[in-house]
Amino acid sequence: MTGTLAAVGAGLAVIGAGIGIGKIGGSAMDAIARQPEATAKIQTAMIIAAALVEGVALFAVVVALIA
């Protein structure tokens, strides 16, 4: 039973990260379309935010599988 709950927790973490990174990417594309001259700043902020979301998701997966 514990393994099943860990798998559900890990799956939810991955789904949440996918949704979060998708929203970050979509919002960045909208921002670049509105302000093409700010592409470099927007892209840098997008990559940092996506990396933070991915890091939290990885931590959640590890915690779900260890616990």
**Topology, domain 2-66:** F1FO ATP Synthase (1.20.20)
Mean pLDDT of 1-14: 85
Measured CA to CA, the distance from residue 17 to residue 19 in angstroms comes to 5
Question: Are the C-beta atoms of residues 55 and 18 closer than 8 Å to each other?
Answer: no
pLDDT in tens, 12-31: 999 999 999 999 999 999 99
Domain ranges in the chain are 2-66
pLDDT in tens, 26-61: 999 999 999 999 999 999 999 999 999 999 999 998
Measured CA to CA, the distance from residue 66 to residue 55 in angstroms comes to 17
pTM of the model: 0.83
The predicted structure's pLDDT at residue 66: 86
